[in-house]
Amino acid sequence: MQKELPVRKSIRLHGYDYSNTGYYFITICVKNGHEMLGTVVGDAHLGVPFVQLTDIGMMVKNHIDNISMVYDFVKIDKYVVMPNHIHLIVIIENKIGEEVHGTPGCASPTKFTLAKLINAFKSLTSRQFGESMWQRSYHDHIIRNKVDYERIWQYIDENPIKWASDMYFVKEKKF
């Protein structure tokens, strides 16, 4: 059994309400680092590398694309599906004075939080895959300003280009 991929240590900001309007950088890793979502193809010298998604990667992409249809107050601003992880910029847009609920259609709606969104995404994709496919935790970072946002946007945009030096790159495949 392989070890889990390193997830940047993030301590949930004590006292912060993760249902607040805001921008969040999220990283979710595939269990055991399996590169099952796609393959980085292309060469920096011959053309810009990109991720050629597998059927599983396409399924994950479709679920990401549908998040805003399920939660009208959530927008996925930027994302990349990498071979064994995903990065997203999630925007929660609560209307001032309105409580946002995370479980549409329930008799007694529950308060929406970022964690509930991530858990629902992981559950839906795992259910469609047929078994649990994600590591237990995820990394989150509250984007605090424009400089932070632009740095993260660029990181996501360039992630396929820098795949071989990425902290999630698995050098030795023992699957």
DSSP 84-122: SEEEEEEEE-PPTT---BSSTT-SSPPBP-HHHHHHHHH
How many domains does the chain fold into?
1
Q: What is the pLDDT of residue 175?
A: 43
Q: Looking at residue 103, what DSSP letter applies? A: S
Q: How confident is the model at residue 69 (pLDDT cuts 50, 70, 90)?
A: very high
Residue 6 inside a domain? The answer is no
* 90 in a structural domain: yes
Structure tokens at 6: 């390193």
Mean pLDDT of the chain: 83
- pLDDT at residue 169 in the model: 81
Instruction: Give residue 11's pLDDT.
Output: 53
pLDDT at position 1: 44
Q: Could you report the per-residue pLDDT of 104-123, keeping only the tens digit for each?
A: 554 445 567 899 999 999 99
Do the domain assignments include residue 61? yes
Task: Say what the pTM is.
Answer: 0.82
**pLDDT digit string, tens, across residues 72-107:** 889 999 999 999 999 999 999 876 545 555 455 544
Q: Strands, E, within the chain: which ranges?
A: 22-29, 38-41, 50-53, 74-81, 85-92, 139-143
- What percent of the chain shows pLDDT beyond 70? 76
Residue 93 forms part of a structural domain: yes
* pLDDT at residue 34 in the model: 92
Would you say residue 172 lies in a domain? no
- Residue 4 covered by a domain: no
pLDDT confidence bin for 162, thresholds 50/70/90: confident
Backbone angles phi, psi at 41, to 5 degrees: -120, 160
- Examine the pLDDT at 130 and tell me if it is beyond 60: yes
| pLDDT band per the 50, 70, 90 thresholds, residue 166 | confident
CATH code, 106: 3.30.70.1290
Establish if 70 belongs to a structural domain.
yes
More confident residue, 21 or 55: 55
Q: Which range marks the domain in which residue 54 is found? A: 22-160
The verdict on residue 65 lying in a domain is: yes
State how far the Cα of 89 lies from the Cα of 78, in Å rounded to an integer.
Answer: 5
Average pLDDT on 52-69 reads 97
